[in-house]
Homo-oligomer: A and B are copies of this chain.
Amino acid sequence: MEVTKVENQRLAIQKKIDKVLCSKEEIESCCPIKDILARFGDKWSIYTILTLGKEEKLRFNELKNQINGVSQRMLTVTLRSLEEDGLVSRQVYPEIPPRVEYSLTPLGQGLLLQLLQLADWAKLNIDQILEARERYAKKEKQAQLT
């Protein structure tokens, strides 16, 4: 009984993977998971989403000051691509000096929740990963000595 339960779980996972893994033609173009993950492959998108998640509304320079180390250009580029995907909204007030407010859209907030779930897993398991890296480094050293 227990065995079939585990086996069923395994089959369910395989089914899910099949749905996620796209056909050979789609692999470059539309695979949703790949597309979503590409959002975080870059250096600043996560920080931007997390920072906006904390504060509801932020102006350009407020964001820039809260995201440590980001340059003007990279923040602009990051915000544009997030806006393009409908994750961040951009409100321009045509005053002088100009004022622009950025905030997460509902879609962006949904993604934020997913990110936080992943972050929970990451925090729980980061130690195991760091240990694995150390073990690997040691093995490498030994292999080089031969």
Contact = CB atoms under 8 A, between A and B. Distances in A.
A16 B135 CA distance: 31
Contact of A14 (B24, B54, B126): B54
Contact of A110 (B51, B125, B132): B125
Nearest to A123: B32
Given A84-B133, A86-B132, A132-B85, A115 B33 contact: yes
Main secondary structure of the interface of A (DSSP, over half): helix
Nearest to A39: B129
13 contacts: A17-B50, A19-B123, A24-B68, A32-B123, A32-B126, A35-B129, A37-B37, A40-B40, A41-B41, A83-B136, A85-B132, A85-B133, A114-B121
Number of copies: 2
A98 interface: no
B16 A131 contact: no
Contacts of A128: 86, 107
Nearest to A126: B32
A19 to B, nearest CB: 7
